[in-house]
């Protein structure tokens, strides 16, 4: 893959020692990650959008957190049901204000 146009990161509540603990994991962040990967594939944009998990970013009160770069869009309190709306906004070059941090 060439450098993606967008890189989506999902907090997976992983600590430096590799332990998964925290708010995001308990609130379905792994399901969000999987749904994003599936949505990217279903839309046929896997050549321009990369999805990755990340460690804890310390915004537990707003978790699960999804970050989109290079747009510097941060979303909080994301659920798997929000994934299609996030992807629609990304493709339209917009921010989904109801989730924006």
CB-facing half-sphere around the CA of 6: CA atoms within 13 A = 24
Give the residue ranges of DSSP H helices in the chain: 23-26, 29-43, 83-92
Give the architecture (CATH level 2) of 6-92: 3-Layer(aba) Sandwich (3.40)
pLDDT of the residue at 15 = 66
Average pLDDT, the chain: 92
Q: Pull the structure tokens for residue 53.
A: 């998990």
pLDDT of the residue at 1 = 62
Q: What is the CA radius of gyration of the chain?
A: 13
pLDDT of the residue at 31 = 95
What DSSP character marks residue 47? T
CB-facing half-sphere around the CA of 45: CA atoms within 13 A = 19
Give tens-digit pLDDT for 43-89.
Answer: 999 999 999 998 888 888 999 999 999 999 999 999 999 999 999 99
pTM, 2 dp: 0.90
**Domain boundaries along the sequence of the chain:** 6-92
């Amino acid at each position: 893959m060439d450098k993606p146009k967008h890189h989506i990161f999902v907090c997976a509540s992983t600590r430096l020692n590799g332990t998964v603990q925290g708010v995001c994991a308990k609130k379905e962040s792994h399901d969000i990650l999987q749904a994003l990967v599936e949505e990217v594939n279903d839309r046929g944009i896997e050549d321009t959008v990369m999805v990755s998990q990340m460690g804890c970013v310390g915004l537990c009160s707003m978790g699960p957190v999804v970050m989109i770069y290079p747009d510097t869009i941060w979303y909080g309190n994301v659920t798997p049901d929000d994934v299609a709306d996030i992807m629609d906004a990304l493709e339209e070059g917009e921010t989904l204000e109801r989730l924006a941090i």
